[in-house]
């Protein structure tokens, strides 16, 4: 009986930038997989986190935020989102407890209904640790009205771990019955190079207050055994920016900032790979790469 009731499927968290989607992904998976940043538009790749429970397996598909595109890159990111919406079993709209529901949220709901009318949608009120109970209740009601009476709405705090298991159970209940897609213990099906590039990108964006997010792409050139030590890997990565001024921001005075980026990224990568690495970072300027189809292709978009 128990075997038959096992459920598995794909879920995608959507919402305006900074609504806590990546933090929630990491809380559900139990390890850092999606990059988290206080900057909008930082997630570029469909990184899947895999949630293993006794009764279910949820595959989390993390998409770039859906937005009104201004560049060719923006258009390609939106196409990626559209494909994802129609292929998942559940779409979970994330709205933070401490921000009023606005036109951006309404626009996303409208897009979901157009692109994936048959997909089950549920609401998640995130960051409930930031406000009082009354405000959480108000937001639950507002989100419920936005999504319609048939949609479940769950309040969570990914940072505090509150209600995370409740959310897992609600999502699992919407999944089709069926066996697990991935073996136990696997946390993501992304290639290791993609995870490395995302972690380097996150470290480079940390604390930078100008227009870097869209303009920064990271490419892993090669991963080799480290010559001097068998238990280490030698990772070579290039950080591409659009302008020389951005290059100097990333490198910092006397290379100090790039060194810091390297140290932070190395710790994160070693944690995920479970092996020591030697990280070589180089910064290059690729003029206006976001608008150039050839360069976009070269950088993996």
Q: Of 171-175, 201-205, 208-212, 264-268, which has the strongest mean pLDDT?
A: 171-175
What is the secondary structure of 18-76 as a DSSP string?
TSSHHHHHHHHHTS--S---SSTT---S-EEEEEE-SSEEEEEEEPPPP----SHHHHH
Sequence-ordered list of residues with C-beta below 8 angstroms from that of 214, at least 6 positions apart, any chain: 41, 71, 73, 290
Which CATH number fits the domain that encloses residue 226? 3.30.300.20
Binding residues for GTP are 15-22, 62-66, 126-129
Residues 221 and 264 in one domain: yes
pLDDT recorded at residue 226:
76
246 burial (CB, 10 Å; 0-12 / 13-18 / 19+) is buried
Task: State the average pLDDT over residues 168-192.
Answer: 82
Residue 291 lies in domain: 192-298
Q: Which helix (H) or strand (E) holds 142?
A: helix 133-147
pLDDT recorded at residue 35:
53
Q: Quick check: 38 pLDDT over 80? A: no
Which CATH number fits the domain that encloses residue 154? 3.40.50.300
Q: Quick check: 45 pLDDT over 60? A: no
Residues 158 and 239 in one domain: no
The answer to whether position 180 is within a domain reads no
Lowest mean pLDDT among 105-114, 115-124, 211-220: 211-220
Binding residues are 15-22, 62-66, 126-129
pLDDT in tens, 110-169: 888 888 888 899 999 999 999 999 999 999 999 999 999 889 999 999 888 899 999 999
Looking at 173, 200, 227, the residue that finishes a domain is 173
pLDDT band at 67 (very low <50, low <70, confident <90, very high): low
Residues 153 and 66 in one domain: yes
pLDDT recorded at residue 117:
86
Closest by CA position to 128, among listed 168, 160, 85, 157: 157
Residues 36 and 95 in one domain: yes
pLDDT recorded at residue 163:
93
Residues 109 and 169 in one domain: yes
The answer to whether position 205 is within a domain reads yes
pLDDT in tens, 183-208: 776 666 566 777 888 889 988 988 77
The answer to whether position 181 is within a domain reads no
Residues 259 and 121 in one domain: no
The dihedral sign for the CA sequence 102, 105, 108, 112:
negative
Task: State the average pLDDT over residues 158-181.
Answer: 92
Is the full-model pTM beyond 0.85?
A: no
288 burial (CB, 10 Å; 0-12 / 13-18 / 19+) is exposed
pLDDT band at 42 (very low <50, low <70, confident <90, very high): very low
Q: How far apart are CA 148 and CA 180, in angstroms?
A: 31
pLDDT recorded at residue 166:
95
Residues 46 and 123 in one domain: yes
The answer to whether position 1 is within a domain reads no
User: Higher confidence at residue 21 or residue 301?
Assistant: 21
Residues 236 and 286 in one domain: yes
Mean model confidence pLDDT for the chain: 83
Residues 20 and 94 in one domain: yes
Residues 155 and 196 in one domain: no
How does 147-186 read in b/e, with b if 16+ C-beta sit within 10 Å?
beeebbbbbbbbeeeebbeebbebbbebbeeeeeeeeeee
The answer to whether position 246 is within a domain reads yes
The answer to whether position 260 is within a domain reads yes
The answer to whether position 185 is within a domain reads no
Angstrom CA distances, 85 to 115, 177, 231, stand at: 7, 20, 41
Residues 197 and 246 in one domain: yes
Residues 107 and 40 in one domain: yes
Q: Find tokens 């940390």 and name the residue.
A: 206
Per the structure, the count of domains in the chain is: 2
pLDDT recorded at residue 77:
67
């Amino acid at each position: 009986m128990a075997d038959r009731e096992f459920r598995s499927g794909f879920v995608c968290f959507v919402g305006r930038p900074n609504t806590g989607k990546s933090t929630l992904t990491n809380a559900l998976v139990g390890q850092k997989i999606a990059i988290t940043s206080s900057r909008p538009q930082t997630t570029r790749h469909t990184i899947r986190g895999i949630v293993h429970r006794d009764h279910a397996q949820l595959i989390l598909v993390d998409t770039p935020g859906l937005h009104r595109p201004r560049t060719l890159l923006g258009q390609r990111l939106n196409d990626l989102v559209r494909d994802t919406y129609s292929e998942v079993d559940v779409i979970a709209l994330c709205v933070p407890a401490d921000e009023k529901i606005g036109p951006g949220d309404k626009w996303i709901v409208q897009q979901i209904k157009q692109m994936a009318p048959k997909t089950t949608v549920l609401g998640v009120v995130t960051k409930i640790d930031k406000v009082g109970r009354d405000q959480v209740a108000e937001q639950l009601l507002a989100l419920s009205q936005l999504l319609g009476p048939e949609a479940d709405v769950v309040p969570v705090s990914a940072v505090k771990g509150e209600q995370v298991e409740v959310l897992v159970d609600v999502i699992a209940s919407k999944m089709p019955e069926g066996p697990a897609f991935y073996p136990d213990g696997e946390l993501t099906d992304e290639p290791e190079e993609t995870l490395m590039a995302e972690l380097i990108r996150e470290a480079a964006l940390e604390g930078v207050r100008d227009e870097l997010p869209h303009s920064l792409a990271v490419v892993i050139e090669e991963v080799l055994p480290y010559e001097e030590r068998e238990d280490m890997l030698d990772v070579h990565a290039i950080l591409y920016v659009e302008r020389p001024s951005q290059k100097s921001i990333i490198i910092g005075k006397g290379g100090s900032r790039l060194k810091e980026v390297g140290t932070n990224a190395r710790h994160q990568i070693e944690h995920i790979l479970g092996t020591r690495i030697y990280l070589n970072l180089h910064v290059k300027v690729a003029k206006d790469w976001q608008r150039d189809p050839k360069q976009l292709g070269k950088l993996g978009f």
